[in-house]
Structure formats: C-alpha cells, structure tokens
Amino acid sequence: MRTPVAETRILDAAKSCCARWGIDKVTVDDIAAAADVSRATLYRLFPGGKDVLFQALHARERAEFFDTLTAEIGETTDFEDLVVRLIVRATRELRADDHLAIMLASEPGAALSELTVDGMPQIIRVANDYLGPILKPFLDPEHAEPLIDLLVRITISYFLSPSDHVDLGEIDSARAFLRPGLAVFSPSIRQPRTTTPEDSS
C-alpha cells in the first residue's frame, strides 16, 4: 500500500470515527480497524499516535476549506466585492459542514478549542497563505495580513454566535456590515493592474 493512500484512508477513518464516537472516546485501534491498516502502519505514518494524527486531520481540513473557498470566489477587480464574497462563501461553507456540526454538538469543548484558542493561530496562518495572494493586487502585505486576521476572527465569531442583525451568509447583509470597516483600508487600496494583449506578447 502506498503511503499517500494509507494516510488518506487513516485520516478519513479518523474523521468517521470521531463523528461516531467523539474525539475523546475514539482510540487508535478504532481508527486502524476502520482504515483497514495495522496499528504498526498507523504509528509509522503518524509517529506519536492519536495526537499527531488529529493534528494532521485538522491541517487537511483547513487546507480543504481554503481550497474550496478560493476556488469558488471567481475573479473581481473590486476590493469590497472580493472581501464580501470571501466572507459569505466562508460562512456558507462552515454552515454546510456536517462533520463540524456533529463535532460541535457531540464534542463542543474540543471543536470550539480547534476553532478558537488552540486552532486560531493555525487557521490565520493558512488563511494568510491562501488569501494573501488574492488580496496582494489590492493591498500591500502589511495591510493585507491584519485584514485577513480580522476577517477570520469575525467569520468564526459570527458563525459560532449568530446575530439577529447580521447574516454573513447573505450578500447584502454582509456587505452592509463590512463596508464601514473596509473603509478604513480605503487609503491603502489600489486597483489591480489589468493584463493587456501587449503584456502577453
């Protein structure tokens, strides 16, 4: 069995087992059995066992989330529209994540920790990796990074504690909410350079 295939099967099994039994109750043996691999294979691929395995699972889920987010926002030359679409898409993805919903219901402590205290630095780091290049045509890195930090925190906060007044999953509501804050960045915003046929020749 090739290592990438085995890793994928083990991570898929870990996700499935968590949904079934919860993070605290699931064991390495449960995951190995569900993945149809030996305990030795699991420890060879994930030295350190359960903790390292779940770190890898969380890393994969973060990457998958931002892959989906950046693939679906499309192209725009309008800064406000770009940010609004990012927030709306991110909010909708979080709401549509059945596994996350199960974990929040069955293991709220662990799930909340992964979205806040323990997981927030990693989420922001990955967000910068994915969103930095998208915002680069509009903002310099010293302005883009604080904005990404703020947007991540706002999105997660409103996802975990919905508001009766703001719906970040709805375009018009998100735009009205975000516009005053984005105005702070107006002096730093630049129009992205449009590529012409001459540039490609």
| Average pLDDT value for the chain | 89
CB–CB of 25/109 below 8 Å?
Answer: no
Residues 62 and 126 occupy one common structural domain = yes
pLDDT (tens digit per residue) in 17-51: 988 888 888 999 999 999 999 999 999 999 988 89
Kindly state the average pLDDT of the residues 136-140.
87
Q: Can you give the pTM of this predicted structure?
A: 0.84
Residues in contact with 2: Cβ distance below 8 Å, sequence separation at least 6, in sequence order: none
Domain match, 105 and 163 both: yes
Are residue 96 and residue 175 in the same domain, yes or no? yes
Whether residues 153 and 66 share a domain: the answer is yes
Residue 199 has what pLDDT?
Answer: 53
Sign of the CA dihedral running 35, 41, 46, 49: positive
Q: Please enumerate, as own/partner, the contacts of 18-26 that have beta carbons within 8 Å and a separation of 24 or more.
A: 18/99, 18/103, 18/107, 19/99, 19/102, 19/103, 19/106, 22/106, 22/107, 23/54, 23/103, 23/107, 23/110, 24/107, 24/110, 26/50
CATH number at residue 1: 1.10.10.60
Residue 200 domain-assigned?
no
Q: Is the pLDDT of residue 141 over 90?
A: no
Predicted pLDDT of residue 190: 80
**Is 2 inside any structural domain?**
yes
Domain residue limits at 15? 1-47
Which tens digit of pLDDT belongs to each residue from 67-108? 999 887 777 789 999 999 999 999 999 999 998 998 898 889
* Number of compact structural domains in the chain: 2
